[in-house]
Amino acid sequence: MPQSAATGALAVEGLCKAFGDALVLDQAGLRVPAGRVVALLGPSGCGKTTLLRCIAGLERPDAGQVRLDGRDLSAPGAFVAPERRRIGMVFQDGALFPHLTVAGNVGYGLSRSERRGARVAEALALVDLAGFGDRLPASLSGGQAQRVALARALVTRPSVLLLDEPFSNLDTILRIQIRAEVQRLLADLGVTAVFVTHDQEEAFVVGDEVAVMLAGRVVQQAAPAELYRAPASRAVAGFLGDANLLPGVAAAGLADTAIGRVPLRNGLRGDVDVLLRPEQLRVSAGAAATIDSVQYFGHDAIYLTRLPGGAALRVRVLDAPEFRPGDTVDLDYVGGPTVGYPRASAG
Ligand code: ATP
């Protein structure tokens, strides 16, 4: 299915939505450049599905705007019906019609004449299911069923594709395989997409950018490496992977901490908590900290170390661990400039 140049720059601003007394979207904003994939990452219940449903037009926001290529889909006084938005959706469970064949499912949203043409076969070929058209959904594996759901969303040539935890019902191996395939497919097609997940690894693999959503609001949107390196707040830092926060005193781009000087990206002064990722720390024989415990995972290992003042630091090593609980070690920071958070702020 040839897709022309990337279409569909999506912009969401100030979106609010309450169900009864519960404010589920609180000034949510999101921007998806044309042809890019933004992974929407957040804990269960933070409002991800509600945001997606507002973008699709399945919910009416109480306030705010949804714009596609500069055109209002949803704004004060404007509301474009879902079927006229050119937005495709893939849900967690695929939601195929069990009594229709694979081809019948994929062609469901097309006109009769479109169904007779090659579009259904093209869409199935795209998701690597050529020849599956006559099968019934019950005869498909979970991964194949999700690929049919994807073909059904793509066949209408949407400007934007919304995927709501599309792989969460699949087992781990299949999930890793299919998400890599889908990532490649979306990139090849140049489809603008929002991909909802609560799995950080999945968000980083699939998203050109990741938007972190907490309590009804997108609190930071950036490329995965930027987000990991410089989370905008403690809450985001803690949500994205392992985060050590070590007290220090900052001045002139450096923080003095219990393990020495740490370079800072942000020009803070005074009492701070400094973000140190476990892989940015090295252990060596010494006396600065005590090893409390060792967790060996095969591909890496984590030492839980404790400083004399009581602060705990997690340290990742790639080799089999050479130290044991009770050993004392020195700790060094070996990463690049990192971020600090003012101690007084809770954010
Ligand atoms: P999950 O990752 O668990 O799917 P989510 O981030 O997608 O969660 P939403 O499904 O958007 O979160 O739900 C956010 C909150 O809004 C939840 O507390 C949910 O119970 C509530 N909610 C969602 N839809 C409705 C509705 N139609 N009526 C009442 N409450 C709703």
Q: Where are the domains of the chain?
A: 10-86+157-236, 243-342
Which of 72-86, 161-175, 265-279 shows the lowest per-residue confidence on average (mean pLDDT)?
A: 161-175
If you measure from the C-alpha of residue 47 to the centroid of ligand 1, how many angstroms do you get, rounded to a whole number? 6
Query: Is residue 169 predicted with pLDDT exceeding 80?
Result: no
CATH superfamily label, 243-342: Nucleic acid-binding proteins (2.40.50.140)
Return d(Cα 65, Cα 54) in angstroms, integer: 10
Query: Is residue 154 predicted with pLDDT exceeding 70?
Result: yes
Ligand 1 binding pocket includes 49 (Cβ within 6 Å) = yes
Q: Which residue's CA is the nearest one to ligand 1's atom 17?
A: 45
CATH architecture of 10-86+157-236: 3-Layer(aba) Sandwich (3.40)
Ligand 1 binding pocket includes 179 (Cβ within 6 Å) = no
Q: Express each pLDDT in 11-52 by its tens digit.
A: 999 999 999 999 999 999 999 999 999 999 999 999 999 999
Containing 275, the helix (H) or strand (E) segment is strand 270-276
If you measure from the C-alpha of residue 50 to the centroid of ligand 1, how many angstroms do you get, rounded to a whole number? 6
Ligand 1 binding pocket includes 47 (Cβ within 6 Å) = yes
Ligand 1 binding pocket includes 212 (Cβ within 6 Å) = no
59 confidence band (pLDDT: 50, 70, 90):
very high
The token pair at 343 is 């101690």
Ligand 1 binding pocket includes 54 (Cβ within 6 Å) = no
Q: Which atom of ligand 1 is nearest to the CA of 198?
A: 2
Containing 182, the helix (H) or strand (E) segment is helix 172-189
Q: What is the mean pLDDT of residues 155-170?
A: 86
pLDDT of residue 114: 73
Ligand 1 binding pocket includes 220 (Cβ within 6 Å) = no
Higher pLDDT pick, 138 / 212: 212
pLDDT of residue 2: 45
Q: How far is CA 331 from CA 116, 297, 339, in A?
A: 67, 21, 19
DSSP states of 209-225: EEEEEETTEEEEEE-HH
- The four Cα atoms 111, 116, 121, 126 give a dihedral, to 10 degrees, of -30
CB count, 10 Å around CB of 329? 20
Pocket test for ligand 1, best of 48, 194, 198 (most atoms within 8 A of CB): 48
Q: Express each pLDDT in 98-114 by its tens digit.
A: 899 999 999 887 877 77
Q: Which atom of ligand 1 is nearest to the CA of 51?
A: 11
The CA-CA-CA angle for residues 212, 248, 306, to 5°, reads 90
Q: Which residue's CA is the nearest one to ligand 1's atom 31?
A: 19
Ligand 1 binding pocket includes 48 (Cβ within 6 Å) = yes
Query: Is residue 195 predicted with pLDDT exceeding 50?
Result: yes
If you measure from the C-alpha of residue 198 to the centroid of ligand 1, how many angstroms do you get, rounded to a whole number? 13
Query: Is residue 6 predicted with pLDDT exceeding 70?
Result: no
If you measure from the C-alpha of residue 12 to the centroid of ligand 1, how many angstroms do you get, rounded to a whole number? 19
Which of 181-190, 224-233, 295-304 shows the lowest per-residue confidence on average (mean pLDDT)?
A: 181-190
Q: Which atom of ligand 1 is nearest to the CA of 52?
A: 11
Ligand 1 binding pocket includes 46 (Cβ within 6 Å) = yes
Query: Is residue 341 predicted with pLDDT exceeding 50?
Result: yes
Ligand 1 binding pocket includes 198 (Cβ within 6 Å) = yes
Ligand 1 binding pocket includes 97 (Cβ within 6 Å) = no
Mean pLDDT over the full length of the chain: 90
Q: Which residue's CA is the nearest one to ligand 1's atom 2?
A: 44
pTM of the model: 0.88
Q: What is the mean pLDDT of residues 213-229?
A: 96
11: helix, strand or coil = strand
The two beta strands, 160-164 and 87-90, are: parallel
Q: Which atom of ligand 1 is nearest to the CA of 92?
A: 4
Q: Express each pLDDT in 251-310 by its tens digit.
A: 989 999 999 999 999 888 999 999 999 999 999 999 999 999 999 999 999 999 999 988
Same topology for domains 10-86+157-236 and 243-342, yes or no?
A: no
Handedness of CA 256, 261, 262, 264 (dihedral sign): positive
Query: Is residue 144 predicted with pLDDT exceeding 90?
Result: no
Query: Is residue 5 predicted with pLDDT exceeding 70?
Result: no
pLDDT of residue 234: 92
316 confidence band (pLDDT: 50, 70, 90):
very high
Return d(Cα 337, Cα 343) in angstroms, integer: 18
pLDDT of residue 3: 47
